[in-house]
Chains A and B, each alone.
Chain A
């Protein structure tokens, strides 16, 4: 199954790169501090003579030793404070670097988090050009992307480790996150705020395409669904329109107009199903529509009670929607 890059230490955008630099600095400083404290402790333990419980406690005044200890502790505290101040400045600088992503000519995407999937809307000045997709964002390489975030039900959090950290999606509050992918590839993101049963299966893939490929993708997504080519696919579309599918799902160009669940107009072009739970293959599609609760317990989609032949037809039709 498509995995995608998802590592804080493998940045592909300027913001994640700035944070990775800060991480490296912190790691080095903290390791040095840790080693210094452990060495100090080891020396203290090693040099201190041993005694037993019966030894009388040493209550005598040792002005010379005390002075030395005071000086040592004083220097250690001063050094710690200085290091902390330095790290604080580094943190603020990184903060500014993250906030300073140039945003001119940015792609704008509205992202709505649902339990347990992501609805992406690519708006356009001409409403006929607007479209929606799910769980897979395509963005052009080298161009900034501004994602406006909404939550439909509970709190979610969008985390794109290789691109830009995370941002919470809170019901009743709109927020935004901006990022830029500088290298073409697939980057995995995931919901990071616990949102219920299937929090574990709420992945989002960001596919960074070279500009011309992105333009082609955009054009394809803006088109209505492809007409079925075979008899099986025609049967599939008929079932989608006449059984329960269309009550929740939209397939542009058909009578399926539901708004409750992911837009399936181009579902065949997506790499995974159910927000990264299973690969989008012919067999997995059948498994999924037969009994979604088995694959992703707690999801809203009900099982579809149809003869196997019809389920295969639906799966074939959906697979053809590229």
Chain B
């Protein structure tokens, strides 16, 4: 291993090397098995025991917790979807009544959007991105840890409410006045508002963490042009989240003010406007689709080159497409509102935007096909899921073009056609890539490869199940079936396709069962993965599986887009960071030149306590008006305690900063 040594860093930071000479602090950069590697491992490992568990802030731990929790919510929402298909399988059934049905579809949609899709993508990014860009942790690991606890508490309360007959029942979009003080009876809508506040706070915190990590903590030499495409996708998503999520938090809180404090934001008889909610919600709600879709595109751009054994064709075009999608996604929201009386000329603009956003996705699809065609293919389960993506997403994208047209939308808006469309887009654009990603990265995080044969069975069942469940829904929409109906009369003629759809859902359930079996089986009996089971080219495959706590014993220096494929450059590693305290190398945004070094605060339980305190506030505010104000006291205390300067740490920091 060629050591760059301190020269590179020392050139810019004179203070610390001199101190090193005096105290002989252990430095990183010796290979595995060395004394410094053992010290690094000690330094970066989270403590054991309950306190250690609650204060863990390794990005791998947090990321994995997000992914596992999100997959559990995926299962729960899937069960609800199955119940709904069962209820609708035949006309005039009474499997569930209207009250429970309304809760089921509201919980299903809310869970899938807020508790599954966004967190699972962010969790994956938290796990993979630091490994992929060559750093030891994310920029703000305690914030992401806090975000996880908030997410968990929010989800638990939301489901606790559901099991006590207080599940949200006004849809995942929660239109007022149905969810307002007059018609949204009980505490159901309050819990929805609360959940949104939780999950959006979570999303924002993780997004800030990821965006900072990707921009400032890439391995030396990993300029933006060399940055892996999944990191690009995560960056674009994170920046979109930072712009869009505050909107829905604000909106949910305005509804909560109407419900609890007697304001009239959405009450037309007092000068409010019911349509205002739709603007606020969809200004977030449409980009939301892309928070889910863009990471999926990032997965594909990571997986396809590996299994085609060549670099991605049109790398720059893909990056520009991702960024373009990110911008255009903010100009589409009114296409959810074509049936309202917004001005007609304005609707035309949104039609044009809705058509235009198909182009960047088309560019990416063509580039992937080109990469596949020009490569040599390794036919493995992840690649099968990629092929599934093409089939399902292209259908969803094309029906999306149809829905973007005002006159056509006026026919099929709020019908089963839209249900079909959105499931094709989200299953095709997010869930197929997610399964591809799970099959692809599972060896990295567990050390074992998922069983290939079970994977193929799972793929084919899922592929058939998804198409059987959701394709007939297009036809139901054209035949006049509106969404969100808990039953229908036999005379409508909707029974046949509804029954086919219910059969498809059973096949999906079988596929998910195989997936769970495969995870369990492969964790115990799966083939050992080694560092790089797929012969992939990005940095996460250069470390052991599962990765050591510190990720890298020596931070890599990058000189190409696929560092593990290219012949190594003159300089492969930098060294000189402390092995005894958690220290990170911060690099410049554009060129990833070493910029500064940054010592992490030690893991503390405060991120957990703060999440708990915020929970106290939010729960209190659901039941009591004073809770809105007094409930702020526990979080205030927790956050002050969290940020209270640690004198010892501060003194140490100062002693490094100043010359002796």
A residues neighboring B (CB under 8 Å): 1-3, 6-9, 16, 18-19, 22-23, 26, 30, 33-34, 37-38, 40-41, 43-45, 47-59, 62, 65-66, 69-70, 72-73, 76-77, 80-81, 84-85, 87-88, 90-92, 94-95, 98-99, 153-155, 157, 159, 161, 164-168, 170-173, 175, 188, 190-200, 276, 297-298
Judging by beta carbons under 8 Å apart, are B411 and A30 in contact? no
B377: Cβ under 8 A from any A Cβ: yes
Q: Does chain A have a CB within 8 A of B487?
A: yes
Q: Which of B102, B391, B482 contacts A197 (CB 8 A)?
A: B102
Whether B493 and A57, one on each chain, are in contact in the complex, defined by CB atoms closer than 8 angstroms, is no
Q: Is B363 an interface residue (CB 8 A)?
A: yes
Please report the C-alpha to C-alpha distance between residue A199 and residue B482 in the assembled complex, in whole angstroms.
9
Please tell me if the beta carbons of B378 and A50 are within 8 angstroms of each other in the complex.
yes
Rounded to whole angstroms, the CA-CA distance of A49 and B372 in the bound complex is: 10
- A81 and B183 contacting across the interface, CB-CB below 8 Å: no
Residues of A within 8 A of B379 (CB): 50
Q: Are B352 and A88 in contact (CB under 8 A)?
A: yes
- Which residue in A2, A34, A171 is a CB contact (below 8 Å) of B274? A171
Residues of A within 8 Å of B313, CB to CB, are 66, 69, 73
Write the B563-586 contact mask toward A (1 if CB under 8 angstroms, else 0): 001100000000000000000000
Please give me the residue from chain A that is nearest to B270 by CB atom.
Answer: A172
Q: Which residues of A contact B486 (CB under 8 A)?
A: 199-200
- List residues of chain B with CB under 8 Å of any chain A CB: 97-99, 102, 170-171, 175, 177-178, 182-183, 268-269, 273-275, 305, 308-311, 313-314, 317, 339-341, 344, 348, 351-352, 355-356, 358-359, 362-363, 365-367, 369-370, 372-380, 387, 390-391, 394-395, 398-399, 401-402, 404-408, 410-415, 477-480, 482-489, 491-493, 533-535, 537, 562, 565-566
Closest to A91 in B: B405
Interface contact A166-B410, CB-CB below 8 Å: yes
The docked-state distance in angstroms from the alpha carbon of A276 to that of B488 is 10
Closest to B272 in A: A172
Cross-chain contact A37 with B99 (CB below 8 angstroms): no
Pick the contact of B411 from A19, A53, A65, A91 — CB < 8 Å? A19
Can you give 17 A-B contacts (C-beta < 8 A)? A8-B478, A8-B480, A23-B411, A26-B401, A37-B394, A48-B377, A57-B537, A58-B309, A58-B310, A77-B359, A85-B355, A155-B178, A166-B410, A166-B414, A192-B339, A199-B485, A297-B99
Cβ of A87: which chain B residues have Cβ within 8 Å of it? 355, 401, 405
Name the distance in Å between A170's Cβ and chain B's nearest Cβ. Answer: 5
- Using CB atoms, name the residue of chain B closest to A276: B489
Q: How far is the CA of A43 from the CA of B373 in the complex (A)?
A: 8
| A165 and B376 contact, Cβ closer than 8 Å, known pairs A1-B489, A41-B387 | no
Query: Assuming A7-B480, A19-B408, A91-B408, is B395 touching A34 (CB within 8 A)?
Result: yes
B263 to chain A, nearest CB (A): 16
Contact A59:B566 (CB < 8 A) given known A3-B492, A38-B390, A91-B408: yes
Known: A84-B401, A157-B414, A192-B413. A37 touches B390 (CB 8 A): yes
Is A44 touching B372 in the complex (CB atoms < 8 A)?
yes
Asked if residues A165 and B407 are in contact (CB atoms below 8 Å), the reply is yes
Nearest opposing residue in chain A for B484, CB measure: A194
Known contacts: A38-B391, A173-B268. The answer to whether A197 contacts B372 by CB under 8 A is: no
Given contacts A1-B489, A192-B414, 14 further A-B contacts (CB under 8 A): A6-B480, A19-B411, A22-B405, A37-B390, A38-B394, A45-B377, A55-B378, A59-B566, A66-B313, A69-B374, A73-B313, A87-B401, A91-B405, A188-B492
B314 touches A73 (CB 8 A): yes
Cβ-closest chain A residue relative to B351? A91
Whether the Cβ atoms of A41 and B565 lie closer than 8 Å is: no
Q: Are B407 and A18 in contact (CB under 8 A)?
A: yes
Least CB distance from A45 to B in Å reads: 6
Closest chain B residue, CB of each to CB of A77: B363
A175 and B370 alpha carbons, distance in the complex (Å): 50
- Cα distance A94–B408 in the bound complex, in angstroms: 9
Q: How far is the CB of B646 from chain A (nearest CB, A)?
A: 47
Residues of B within 8 A of A157 (CB): 339, 414
Instruction: Check B183 against A191 for contact (C-beta < 8 Å).
Output: no
Contacts of B391 in A (CB 8 A): 38
Known: A37-B394, A77-B363. A197 touches B99 (CB 8 A): yes
Interface centre among B380, B395, B411, B479 (most CB of A within 10 A): B411
